[in-house]
Amino acid sequence: MARDKKADIKRSRKKTVRGARALPSPERQSAGVFRLVLLCSLLGLVAVGLGYGARWLWQQAPTVEALSRVDALENVRVKGAFRAVTQKEVEDILLPFLSRGFFSLDIDAVRAALLRHPWIEQASVSRRWPNGILVEVEEEQPLAIWGEDQLLIATGELLPRPPQMQSVRLPELAGDAQLVERIMAQYQALAGLLTTKDMEVRRLSFDDLAGWQLELVSGIRLQLGHDELLERVDRFLSLTRGVLAPHLQKVAGVDTRYNNAVAVQWKDSKATKK
């Protein structure tokens, strides 16, 4: 019995020993806390360093304005026909924009400024690396001379006549400015009919009293009246291919306002009906 009790006491002591864990020493605990604090401090320093480094780099980065000063526009090319518009006019329009530099140049604003010129129909502006731009302009096409100081373009708009186009050779149109579209349409119809040499339109005019008056390149003047212009011009052309053919050099004018005849005015003589 006593032997059994001693055996039980030994077993209980052995179980107690096997289930117990040794606590870390105070020195080891202090070392672990120190390492953790040191790691957190290092991470914090790295983060702060990165933040200051990024801020410094941002401050050192050049602004758009600074880049523009470095890459100032030095190569500006302007292309165009330069008939109604001069190259200097285009350069004067560009000048206020060129100081802004390559990067900050407002392409749309430059194009809008060019298109405000009455004679510029289309304009394109493009950057050319590293420090240039290319500007191309297309001009309105004049159709005829209107009066002394205006030109008519294909859209029916009257534009001021540039000094460099004072000697340009174009048909002349005249009449009330409120009738410009009607006169232009009549001119285009007659120009399609009068295509042979010396029979092209030199001048077409209209007024309420005399009606339509036409002068050809050959110098012959036609009185056309108010109505049936194309029919009357066609009648005149038939005569030039017939009875008037041998005498055209002597003809000064033809009045086509008669229904079945024309009145021919000879140079240095009175009119004769045919």
Q: For 211-223, give the DSSP string.
A: EEEEEETTS-EEE
Given this model, what pLDDT does residue 7 score? 52
Return the pLDDT at 40.
Answer: 75
Gap between the Cα atoms of 67 and 75, Å rounded: 16
Asked if 101 and 65 count as a contact pair (C-beta separation under 8 A), the reply is: yes
For 5-31, the pLDDT digits (tens) are 545 545 555 454 454 455 556 666 666
pLDDT (0 to 100) of residue 123: 97
Average per-residue pLDDT for the chain: 84
The pLDDT of 122-141, averaged and rounded, is 94
pLDDT value of residue 16: 47
Of the pLDDT bands very low, low, confident and very high (cuts 50, 70, 90), residue 72 is confident
For residue 75, pLDDT beyond 70: yes
Cβ of 99: how many Cβ atoms within 10 Å? 12
Q: What is the pLDDT, as a whole number, of residue 182?
A: 95
Kindly indicate the confidence band of residue 183, based on its pLDDT and cuts at 50, 70 and 90.
Answer: very high
Q: What percent of the chain has pLDDT over 90?
A: 62
CA distance 32 to 115: 77
Residue 178 is encoded by which pair of tokens?
A: 């409120």
pLDDT of 57: 57
Cα separation, 78 vs 86, whole angstroms? 11
- As a whole number, mean pLDDT of residues 238-260 equals 92
Domains and their CATH numbers in the chain: 67-139 (3.10.20.310), 142-273 (3.40.50.11690)
Does residue 265 have a pLDDT over 70? Answer: yes
- How does residue 271 score in pLDDT terms, banded at 50, 70 and 90? low
The region of weakest confidence among 14-28, 89-103, 139-153, 207-221 is: 14-28
The two structure tokens encoding residue 111: 């194009």
Coil vs helix vs strand at 75:
strand
Q: What is the pLDDT of residue 25?
A: 62
Inter-residue contact 253 to 265 (CB < 8 Å): yes
Tens of pLDDT, residue by residue over 196-222, are 888 999 999 999 998 999 999 999 999
Closest CA to 169 of 197, 203, 196, 139: 203
Q: Bigger pLDDT: 56 or 42?
A: 42
- Indicate if the pLDDT at residue 47 is higher than 80: no
Give the pLDDT band (50/70/90) at residue 268. Answer: confident
